[in-house]
Amino acid sequence: MRIVLEQVTKKYDASILKNLNLLIEDKKAVGVMGASGCGKSTLLRQLAGIEFPEEGTIKVNDTVVSPKTVQAYQQEIGVVFQKHNLFPHLTLRKNILLILEKIREISPEVAKLKASALLDQFHLTEQADKLPRQVSGGQAQRAAIARALCTEPDLLFLDEPTAALDPILTGEVLEAVTELKNLGKDCIFITHEIDFLKRFADYFVFMNRGEIVEHGPIGLLESPETDKLATFLRRER
């Protein structure tokens, strides 16, 4: 993937993203990390075209993300939010079928086969006909990832996929992210978990108070260049 940020600024009551500049080329998995409130989830929403900055330019691969391009752009990406956002009144299977039949306009017969394959791929066959509230948080998050893959996206965004999960459920989500890597999917994920980032990302972006403080290949985390990143890493270990 290729990501370009040029002087990106996002404001609510105050500046959340402050004049961000970044160039990432030829990476498969980018992890964005930082303490709560640093702006990392806000950055993800700009990258995914859910919101737009007041100033600056965002380019993802060959697309300048803007109100004019967002409809076509969002057909090429998938987004999984922290709380999975599955339809609560539909089973895991029907959550997936809805996307296949209504968005991709696949026939019901073919959609059922694809849904079953996705559920099996993410080890959800036994939970397929349960509602989201009837499965664990890790299983629901895996179902959300499977649903996001229904549109065969070029790029997948994950907003803190392991947040608020206990270690066992976190392991379930790690399995799903491993499957994404096996599928060769490009991925940008938000996290505060250093071990998770080191395991799955090949590039990191560290944010603090709305600014990009440091970024680079994962190996640089062993010898951070800034005191802010070094302090963050010590606290999270």
DSSP line for 144-203 = HHHHHGGG--SEEEEESTTTT--HHHHHHHHHHHHHHHHHT-EEEEEES-HHHHHHH-SE
d(CA 96, CA 115) in angstroms, rounded, equals 6
d(CA 117, CA 114) in angstroms, rounded, equals 5
Q: What is the 3-state secondary structure (H, E, C) of 61-73?
A: CCEECCCCCHHHH
Are 161 and 82 in contact by the 8 Å Cβ rule? The answer is yes
Residue 165 pLDDT: 59
Residue 193 pLDDT: 81
Local confidence band at 166 (pLDDT 50, 70, 90 cut-offs) = low
d(CA 222, CA 130) in angstroms, rounded, equals 43
Domain that residue 111 falls in: 2-236
Torsion of the alpha carbons at 85, 88, 92 and 97, rounded to the nearest 10: -80
CA distances in angstroms from 18 to 120, 140, 144, 150, listed in the order given: 43, 34, 31, 35
55-65 confidence digits (pLDDT tens): 999 999 999 99
Tokens 């972006």, located at residue: 205
Sheet containing strand 55-60, edge to edge, reads: 15-25, 2-11, 55-60, 63-64
176-215 confidence digits (pLDDT tens): 777 787 888 899 999 888 888 898 899 999 999 999 999 9
Could you tell me the CATH number of the domain that includes residue 113? 3.40.50.300
Which residues make Cβ contacts (< 8 Å) with residue 97, sequence separation at least 6?
Answer: 108, 111, 112, 115
pTM (predicted TM-score): 0.88
Number of domains in the chain: 1
